[in-house]
Amino acid sequence: MIHGLGTILAAAAVAAPVALASPASAAPRPARIHDIQGAAHISPLNGARVARVPGVVTAVTVNGFWMQDPHPDRSAATSEGIYVFTRTRPEAAVGDAVRVDGRVSEFRPDGASSGGLTRTEIDATAVAVTAHGRPLPPPVVLGGPHGRRAPGAVVDRGHGDVERGGGFDPRREGLDFYEALEGMRIAIGDAVAVGPSRYGELPVLPANGAGAGVRTARGGILLRDRDPNPERIILDDALAPLPAMNVGDRLPGVNHGVLDYSYGDYKLLLTAAPKRAAGTLARESTRPQRPGEMAVATAALDGLHPDAPPARFAALADDIVHGLRSPDLIAVSGVGDNSGPEDDGTVATDQTVAQLVTAISAAGGPAYDWRSVDPRDNADGGEDGDNERSGFLFRTDRGLAFVDRPAPGDPIPDAPSDRPDPAVTAARVVRRGGTAALTLSPGRIAPRDAAWAGTQKPLAGELTWRGHRFIVIANRWYPRTGDDQPLFGRRQPPSQPTGWRRFAQARTVTGFVHAVRKVDANARVIVAGDLNDRGTSTPLRTLTTGAWRTPGAGLADLPAELPAVDRYTAVTGGNAEDLDHILLSASLRKRKHEFDIVHRNAEFADRAGERDPTVVRIDMSGK
């Protein structure tokens, strides 16, 4: 969705300009739209004054309109559409033939300092309507047997800033494919949703996904290394409303719009509300654990707090009771404090947890207990006042017990002498009873390390299951942010600086696992949670085989055991990817186990959270 479209477009008049290609003082020159657009990401006439640019109005906003030349040139590399910025509501209407005077500009909707691309515009000084009721130029059809197809795997082959020249190849590069259609009328037939509708946007594939990349088992499209799926296109509700859609829902027939760019993506602004044909997607439930199995799960609660709607507590409880089948242990992330977003110094979360536990019982689940460490106020990232943290929900009626260290009233080892504070005191690994144990349980891992500054700290806990001792680490690693370059951005390949932050976090967790294994090579270790990166990424490889001269922790990433078409917990811009993980030490992996990603959230517009929960059932019968 282009939030505040009028405000954003109005900012074009004062946005920091892209370097001008033509002298601003030169006399106006007659031009056609394809002359202005050129076969490049920056107009060859950027900054020039143009006169009598002809076109037919195809869509209108509060302070401008799109127009298209009904007499195109012979080049598929030059767009025939353009946005005309008028500052106030234009008098021209859809179907009017117009001639426009003004100055060519390149407006960057995401902000002058962003890594996003520009929108080529005419900053109008005069608009003359020469005729009414003209037929609209025929749209470019995307997908299908007779339409244009976006390149299936490549966004851009080059390296560096695409706005500084170099090759321009719409046939082979997705970035150039869409640039060559910027501002034009587009038609898509029989679109199928590959992500849920959210914030007024909907990712789809045209032609029921014919010719698209690897589809998921439930109708999405899988993000893979070197295949970001540029054939996806984002529908936007800036000009017409969109229905609520789930993955697999369809928009039958042909829908029309104009192609725009904002917030790191090319977007098709439909000019009429489409009709939805519901698919058959259903929320999954995993099987119950058997008597000898211990079930460990992950759940991202996305800032849950006591003032959240009761329906959200009920939906999360439904995920736990009916989706995950009431596992023995849940590593949760994103649990907010008792006052939610109110920045009043509160850090305790007992009221939030109590409401969730009550909702679980009301849904027919067992009684759950809770362990976490309260953060220091506003020290763990997120919105001020939220104080989100990771923690453990666990049930004790099937043989699981949490080992609390130190016992209530005992001094906290290694804490600063003036004020013992578990929020900033690191849990250490010691030998106790011939095996690895923790000095603090629950206890934070390296909370003073720079890798965890301003973000949720990993939480270690020591537990027993019918005599078997475990160390479990609950995580929520640093997320992707606006510091990361967009996939459809000016710099290619896009840099992902937050990945280095997650790599640093992975190194601290890996170091902790190494410390456990140094004490007991056969220790039972589970690392679980929202790691915000894919299984093939450098941070995840740090936990498994090692990366960048960092010896791996020797853990097994369980999503890798699933077929690729089922290996996803999130849908980002229509791309399905695995961002939530459970990893096992060798001593646990060799046991019979079964891992499941329970698809209940990521594909649905109406959902309890953004991520799908995961669960592993480990057969602990025998020694």
208-259 pLDDT per residue, tens: 999 999 999 999 999 998 889 999 999 999 999 999 999 999 999 999 999 9
Residue 362 has pLDDT above 70, yes or no: yes
- Neighbouring CB atoms inside 10 A of 30's CB total 11
- Neighbouring CB atoms inside 10 A of 240's CB total 17
Query: Which tens digits make up the pLDDT trace of 5-56?
Result: 433 333 333 344 454 455 556 789 999 999 999 999 999 999 999 999 999 9
**pLDDT confidence of residue 231:** 94
Q: Give 433's pLDDT tier (boundaries 50, 70, 90).
A: confident
Residue 105 C-beta-side C-alpha neighbours within 13 Å: 23
**In the structure encoding, which two tokens stand for residue 579, read together?**
């961002």
Reference 18, options 146, 112, 154; nearest CA is 112
Is the C-alpha dihedral spanning 224, 229, 230, 234 positive or negative? negative
Q: How many residues does the chain have?
A: 623
Q: Provide mean pLDDT across the span 517-544.
A: 97
**In the structure encoding, which two tokens stand for residue 493, read together?**
């390949």
Question: Where are the domains positioned within the chain?
Answer: 33-131, 140-270, 293-619
Query: Which tens digits make up the pLDDT trace of 71-91?
Result: 999 999 999 999 999 999 999
**pLDDT confidence of residue 15:** 41
**What residue has token string 């080992």?**
403
Q: Report percent pLDDT > 70 for the chain.
A: 94
Query: Which tens digits make up the pLDDT trace of 559-575?
Result: 999 999 999 999 999 99
Residue 617 has pLDDT above 80, yes or no: yes
Q: Give 350's pLDDT tier (boundaries 50, 70, 90).
A: very high
Q: Give 548's pLDDT tier (boundaries 50, 70, 90).
A: confident
Q: Which residues pair with 256 in a beta bridge?
A: 187
**pLDDT confidence of residue 202:** 99
Residue 319 C-beta-side C-alpha neighbours within 13 Å: 28
Task: Answer whether CATH 2.40.50 is correct for domain 140-270.
Answer: yes
Q: Give 520's pLDDT tier (boundaries 50, 70, 90).
A: very high
C-alpha 141, offset from chain centre: 28
**pLDDT confidence of residue 24:** 55
B/e letters for 212-223, b = 16+ CB within 10 Å, e = fewer, are: bbebbebbbbbb
Report how far residue 284's alpha carbon sits from residue 270's, in angstroms, rounded to the nearest whole number.
32
Q: Give 167's pLDDT tier (boundaries 50, 70, 90).
A: confident
Q: Are 387 and 375 in contact (CB under 8 A)?
A: yes
Q: Give 152's pLDDT tier (boundaries 50, 70, 90).
A: confident
Q: Give 160's pLDDT tier (boundaries 50, 70, 90).
A: confident
**pLDDT confidence of residue 13:** 36
Burial of 159 (C-beta count, 10 Å sphere; 0-12/13-18/19+)? exposed
Task: Answer whether CATH 3.60.10.10 is correct for domain 293-619.
Answer: yes
- Neighbouring CB atoms inside 10 A of 10's CB total 17
Q: Give 206's pLDDT tier (boundaries 50, 70, 90).
A: very high
**What residue has token string 């143009």?**
50
Q: Given this chain, do its domains 33-131 and 140-270 carry the same CATH topology?
A: yes
**What residue has token string 């609390």?**
404
**pLDDT confidence of residue 9:** 39
Comparison of pLDDT for 366 and 263, the residue scoring more: 366
Fold of 33-131: OB fold (Dihydrolipoamide Acetyltransferase, E2P) (2.40.50)
Report how far residue 515's alpha carbon sits from residue 521's, in angstroms, rounded to the nearest whole number.
10
**What residue has token string 């959240």?**
308
Comparison of pLDDT for 15 and 357, the residue scoring more: 357
Q: Please tell me whether the peptide bond between 411 and the residue prior to it is cis, using omega within 30 degrees of 0.
A: no
With H, G, I as helix, E, B as strand and everything else as coil, classify residue 392: strand
pTM, 2 dp: 0.92
Query: Which tens digits make up the pLDDT trace of 275-310?
Result: 999 999 999 999 999 999 999 999 999 999 999 999
CA dihedral 58, 59, 60, 66 (to 10 degrees): -60
